[in-house]
Structure 1
Amino acid sequence: MCFSMFRSKSKNSSIIQPGKFTPSNTNINPTALNSPSSRSHSQSKSRSNEFNSKSSSISSRASLSSLKDSLPENPHIYDLSEIRSATSNFLLRPFSSSSSSTSWKCLIDKKQLIVTQRKLRRPIDNSELRRKLSLLCKSHHASLVKLHGASVSGNYLYLVYEFICGANLSDCLRNPRNPNFTVLSNWISRVQIIAGIADGLDYMHNCAGFKNGFIHNHVKSSSIVICEEPALVAKICHFGTAQLCGEVPEAISGEDDDDSSNYHVLKRVGSAVGKFVGTRGYMSPEFQTTGIPTLKSDVFAFGVVLLELLSGEEPMKVHVDSGSGAFRKVSLIETAREAVGSGTGRLRQWVDRRLRDSYPVEVADGLARVALECVLEDPGRRPDMGRVAGWISKYYLESKTWAQNIGLPDEITVSFAPR
């Protein structure tokens, strides 16, 4: 699957420290300034400075022009005719489709973009759409697919995203044509990817400028694109979908006096019994009961994605009992709890065998425990994404130290191209 690329850097990337500038001490002889030769030199220097100033001004204008072209545009409400024209009246072959959305890859204003059609849960007018878009389009993070704008027609919302070329995380981990192969065969690449996802969700929840944080509500491995920049990086798709489509109801936030929980209780306002859409294996217990997404339901889904990266397995599998022939659902969360509770020997059997036992067991155990904290049944006991991102950053640094000690390269580049 492809979507477009951010060129900004994640907050885990190396920070370049500005060098200290110490101006040199220049000794000036005041008598020399009055000599004819010095005046002539001063005039020529003045003309030279004027020329340099003009050329610098031209260069600055060129630089500003190129900078302006590179800056993101203001949030844009597209006319439906633009969307129809770009998608050949929606007859263009879909780029991807699911039960809740259809996407097309197309050209708009000479840019390759993705247009995603979703059904609105409740009506939205242009003023509300513009207000929400202005908040969402101001959000920039290296791990988020950029939202360019949207269009509304009837009961449908058309979201316009940048295009990123890559493959979704689910396909990277589980290739049906070759189950024994994965592009994520290196431990460092997996920890780097999960660190990027954690940072992106932390930004959405805590740093995007919205009072109670943006809820994603679609966190799953198929909604995360892995691309090359040149190392493998993760991009979270569908940013802003929950807010714009009305999946997050008009709500009042009841904050507990205990700040440690940081759990917001959301209540429906004037709504009847409604349907909600979720993906099996990623839905938290409270979301399955109420249909109301929260920050902590995002944390739950992230924990499942982390378990997928560690084990390579699907969130939910169906096994057939050899004796009775009955079908039995097996949850990845259950198998992870058994593995962590049974010691390192069982954990090594549970971790993806395609890693060939080349990983720090202590770090794998720590990450599995972080994931299990995220998928606790009680949402109030789950950590927030800020704390989770901090834990994962620590394990990422420990993984890099481990790789250096055994002589593995720090930066892993894997190509998706056929050989």
Structure 2
Amino acid sequence: MCKSKSSTMATTPKPRSSRSSRSLPTTPTTPSTPSFPSNHQFPSSTPPATATGNSTASSGTTTSSSLSATLSYLRDSLPCLVSFSDLSTATNHFLSGRLSGTSWRCSILNHDAVVFQRTFRLPLHSDPPAFVSSLLSNLGKSHHAALARLLGASIAGGGDHIYLIYEFVPGAPLSDLLRNPKNPKFTPLSTWMSRIQIVADLSDGLEYIHSQSGTIHNRIKSSAVIVTDPGLRAKICHFGSADLSGLLEESKLARGQKRIEGTRGYMAPEIISGGNVSQQSDVYAFGVVLLELISGEEPVKFKFNKTSKEFERISLIDTANKAVEEGVEGVRKWVDSRLRDSYPIEAAERLITVALRCVDADPEARPDMTSVAVKMSKIYLESKVWAERVQPLTDFSVSIAPR
């Protein structure tokens, strides 16, 4: 355990100011390391030129104090196992800050946090606290700008559920920004560069999960991506969820013993047929999100056919394939009309081609995220050059006064 009840707060935190964060870079992200307080001084590895008597003792005290502060910060920044009683106190017995049926917002571990409830699939013969603590230690080594930070986890008394604690990210789900039910014609992502920036962030983040963390996400979908405010940068939520809930352990069981769980439209064919979750199934889900970003449409929808009097299933993958077959005009009709035809058509075509490779029915035919991230980075840079070339001039004035 890493915190006592006195370190948690039972009240729902006040929302953060959306204008107080530092500016974010506008280039594809790279794996990041934990940031340290700006006023913190690291001990110098080079001793002073002259150090005698009291000055030596003072230097030693300063170095010791600085090192202690560094270790304390590192210790507090690592995810840890939280007692269920402390979590219950922080959420006011799960009555305050409810975001959905299985998620809450609260203050815990000295952070504004979001808590998600997950079914705990750990085999009965194992040691749940030791299992979770070990995983938290490993997952705590992973840091990336495109990942929502994992703060900790808590196991319910009966052991049926695990509660995953993440740092709260100000913003909105990507799915809501692409498809606002109250105003379908409006989207904050109305420019090509705003979308290609999110593509770059997502590909970098998922590539980091696969290559650096060596794990599987298993929850890639547009509703699990938060677009930050301000900045319009993407952060992948639920990092480590598949590991901590025991889902990856369960996937090793025989087909008849596994429970199929996922979101319609994002599940790879091999999972639906009873296969194991894998990095290839993550790539499939990423490809679906990529198609969503380009078209603005949801992965699967049902349309009523007045002739047959039945509902027809419309797949985003099918419509994308058809658009590519029809050539440039087909692609232009398929791309989100809210972009107002202001995008490089060649880049859009290549993006769709990569997305369709990601959603190939054969897992072995799908590219790995490293090669995908490289392609996304190239398309991002080409799109940036295009945007700089076509942007309107802003350093001139127009007068309508009589001459």
- Deviation digits for residues 346-390 of structure 1 (CA, Å, limit 9, x no counterpart): 100100000000000000000000000000000000000111111
Residue number in structure 1 paired with 2:245: 245
1:170 aligns with 2:171: no
Q: Which has the larger radius of gyration?
A: 1
Distance 1:69 1:351 in 2: 47
Matched, 1:217 2:218: yes
Cα distance in 2 for partners of 1:60, 1:189 equals 47
What SS does the aligned partner of 1:357 have? Answer: coil
Q: CA deviation at 1:64?
A: 7.9
Q: CA deviation at 1:196?
A: 0.4
After superposition, give the CA deviation of every residue in 1:198-248 in whole Å (9 maximum; x if it has no partner).
11110001112xxxx2111110000000003x4211010111111111211
Kept in 1, the 8 Å contact 2:255–2:275? The answer is no
Residue 85 of structure 1 deviates from its aligned partner by: 0.3
144-153 or 326-335, which moves further after superposition?
Answer: 144-153
1:11-56 Cα shifts (integer Å, max 9, x gaps)? 83499xxxxxxxxxxxxxxxxxxxxxxxxxxxxx989xx99x9799
Identity %: 45
Distance in 1, matches of 2:26 and 2:146, equals 7
Question: 5+ residue gaps in structure 2?
Answer: 1-14, 32-48, 394-403
Q: Secondary structure at the match of 1:249?
A: helix
State the superposition RMSD in angstroms: 3.2
TM-score, normalising length: structure 1:
0.76
Equivalent residue number for residue 361 of structure 2: 377
Larger mean CA deviation between 310-319 and 322-331 belongs to 322-331
Q: Does 2:285 align with 1:301? A: yes
1:131 is aligned with what amino acid? S
Secondary structure of 1:172's counterpart equals helix
In structure 2, what is the equivalent of residue 38 of structure 1? none
SS in 1 for 2:235: strand
Assess, with a 3 A threshold, how the Cα gap between structure 1 residues 379 and 64 changes in structure 2: closer, same or farther: same
Relative to structure 1, is the Cα distance of residues 161 and 408 closer, same or farther in structure 2, using a 3 angstrom cutoff? farther
Tell me the residue number matched to 2:203. 198
Partners of 1:11 and 1:351 in 2: CA distance: 23
- TM value normalised by structure 2: 0.79
How many residues end up aligned between the 2 structures? 352
Quote the offset at 1:73 in angstroms: 2.2
Residue 408 of structure 1, CA deviation: 6.0
Distance 1:237 1:6, change over 3 A: farther
Whichever residue aligns with residue 179 of structure 1, its letter is P
**Deviation digits for residues 159-201 of structure 1, max 9, x if unmatched?**
1111111100000100000000000001001001011001111
Letter of the aligned partner of 1:196 in structure 2?
Answer: D
Is 1:358 the counterpart of 2:363? The answer is no
Question: SS where residue 28 of structure 2 aligns?
Answer: coil
Q: Which moved more, 1:304-313 or 1:118-127?
A: 118-127
Contact 2:290–2:355 (CA under 8 A) maintained in structure 1: yes
- SS of the residue corresponding to residue 117 of structure 1 reads strand
The residue aligned with 1:136 is 139
- Mapped partners of 1:7, 1:245: distance in 2: 35
Displacement of 1:272: 4.5
- Label 1:110 to 1:318 Cα distance change in 2 as closer, same or farther (>3 A): same
- 1:78 aligned to 2:82? yes
